[in-house]
Amino acid sequence: MQKRFFLHAIALATVAFTATATLAQDNTFKIGLILPMTGQQATTGRQIEAAARLYMAQNGDTVAGKKIQLIVKDDTSLPDATRRLAQELVVNDKVNVLAGFGITPSALATAPIATQSKTPMVVMAAATSSITQASPYIVRTSFTLPQASVALADWAPKNGIKKVVTLVSDYGPGIDAEKYFKERLIFNGGQVTEALRVPLRGPDFAPFLQKVRDAKPDALFVFVPSGAGAAVMKQFAERGLDKAGIKLIGTGDVTDDDQLNDMGDVAVGVVTSHHYSAAHPSAMNKKFVEAFSKANKGLRPNFMAVGGYDGMRVIYEALKTSKGQGGGDALLAGMKGQIFESPRGKMFIDAQTRDVVQDIYLRKVEKKDGQLYNVEFDVIKDVKDPGKAK
């Protein structure tokens, strides 16, 4: 135990020392991208890597006189692997920025390394609110679940949805979604009659959905990680909840663009709130979607891809403003406060919380040209993460 602690201390000391000492010598700028490329969350990794490479292809790989080098590592969504890889990237490869992070535990496990080595850490996917508080070097370009769920809780009561049952996966993001949705819905005069948490590995949603049906709410609010969304939706329809007059609402993970087409017609009409849809009607997004699917055999970008794309932009611009000089702190300063247009619309990196501030859209699944899309019909402007408002 003592030996381990000692090694640990040495490793961290080296990290702190070398990170500052070697920055100036090298003319490459290294970005360590840690993503789940295999295992349960592999689509997240695939989308983000593709988006990061697309950004580099579009914007060149030389910024402020430095050659950008992307080092992709696969952490298979195991937090201890993420931590080890981050340590290796910082100590051996001497990366200037850590980026990626598919799931919340991975991001949290890496936070101390970012703090101690003063390496900016750009979170491109993980969405639990508290992540940015884990280290002053974390910047987030994805979204937070409170952001998405609060917007939905604002919209619902105005559209005749007062009584809601929530159903979330029993882990960090799910509990965030449940909590903030409930608080805001009650604030808006609605009520949550029942809060169901399903095990993350819960194979069969049938009993939970039957319970929802017997509770007869106006709507069912769902958060499950993308992938499980399709199962919920099919069983929702199979059980006849839609015919019983219950609406299905949720955060955008349920109707992930990556999987939406495979879900089939059961998805049509589902209302979700999220920060990105592949159908977002802006010139920039059209260009982004087209270039992305062209570079990736017709793959449609989802909200993970846009998090990766914007994360790369944040890094590029920070490098430009710091003129290629200076270490982690200068880069971090360049990242804070960036306002720019992303394929998702306008977004802003809040200088205080280092979290993303963005428009949250309300979308309904519709069929366009034989394909299913999340079509935006309403927007709530400049949503700051409600988890930080304390």
Partner 1 sequence: MLTILFDGIAYGMLLFILAVGLAVTMGLMNFINLAHGAFAMAGGYITVLLMQRFGVPFLLCLPLAFIGSALLGGVLERTLYRPLYHKPHLDQVLFSIGLVFMAVASVDYFVGSTQQIIQLPEWLKGRTELGSGAWMLGMGHYRLFIIAVCAALTVGLQYVLGYTRFGSRLRASVDDQRVAAGLGINVNMVFLTTFAVGSGLAGLGGALGAEVLGLDPSFPLKFMVYFLIVVAVGGTSSITGPLLAALLLGIADVAGKYYIPKLGAFIVYSLMIAILIWRPQGLFVRKGGK
The sign of the CA dihedral 300, 301, 304, 308 is positive
Q: How far is CA 157 from CA 83, 186, 252, 318, in A?
A: 43, 10, 19, 41
- Nearest-approach distance from CB 33 to partner 1, in angstroms: 18
Sequence-ordered list of residues with C-beta below 8 angstroms from that of 71, at least 6 positions apart, any chain? 30, 31, 32, 33, 89, 93, 95
- Nearest-approach distance from CB 198 to partner 1, in angstroms: 7
- Nearest-approach distance from CB 250 to partner 1, in angstroms: 16
Binding site for partner 1 (CB under 8 A): 38-43, 170, 196-199, 201-204, 206-208, 210-211, 227-228, 230-231, 234, 237-240, 258-259, 262-264
- Identity of the residue, 245 or 264, whose beta carbon is nearer to partner 1 in the bound complex: 264
- Identity of the residue, 44 or 149, whose beta carbon is nearer to partner 1 in the bound complex: 44
76: helix, strand or coil = coil
Q: Report d(CA 390, CA 208) in Å as an integer.
A: 33
Place of tokens 């034989």: 370
- Provide the Cα torsion 300, 303, 308, 311; round to 10°: 140
β-pairing, 356-368 vs 345-349, is antiparallel
- Nearest-approach distance from CB 208 to partner 1, in angstroms: 6
- Identity of the residue, 81 or 357, whose beta carbon is nearer to partner 1 in the bound complex: 81
Q: Report d(CA 290, CA 281) in Å as an integer.
A: 13
Task: Evaluate whether 378 touches 361 at the Cβ level (below 8 Å).
Answer: yes
- Identity of the residue, 81 or 237, whose beta carbon is nearer to partner 1 in the bound complex: 237
- Identity of the residue, 204 or 382, whose beta carbon is nearer to partner 1 in the bound complex: 204
Q: How many angstroms from the chain centroid is the CA of residue 151? A: 16
- Nearest-approach distance from CB 40 to partner 1, in angstroms: 6
- Nearest-approach distance from CB 368 to partner 1, in angstroms: 20
- Identity of the residue, 201 or 390, whose beta carbon is nearer to partner 1 in the bound complex: 201
Sequence-ordered list of residues with C-beta below 8 angstroms from that of 339, at least 6 positions apart, any chain? 346, 347, 348, 349
- Identity of the residue, 257 or 385, whose beta carbon is nearer to partner 1 in the bound complex: 257
Q: How far is CA 162 from CA 64, 146, 224, 250, 376, in A?
A: 54, 19, 22, 15, 22
- Identity of the residue, 18 or 40, whose beta carbon is nearer to partner 1 in the bound complex: 40
- Nearest-approach distance from CB 18 to partner 1, in angstroms: 35
Helix, strand, coil proportions of the chain in percent (round to 5)? Answer: 45, 25, 30
- Nearest-approach distance from CB 260 to partner 1, in angstroms: 10
- Nearest-approach distance from CB 38 to partner 1, in angstroms: 6
Q: Tell the burial category of 190 from Cβ atoms under 10 Å away from its Cβ (0-12, 13-18, 19+).
A: buried
Q: Report d(CA 274, CA 327) in Å as an integer.
A: 34
- Identity of the residue, 258 or 355, whose beta carbon is nearer to partner 1 in the bound complex: 258
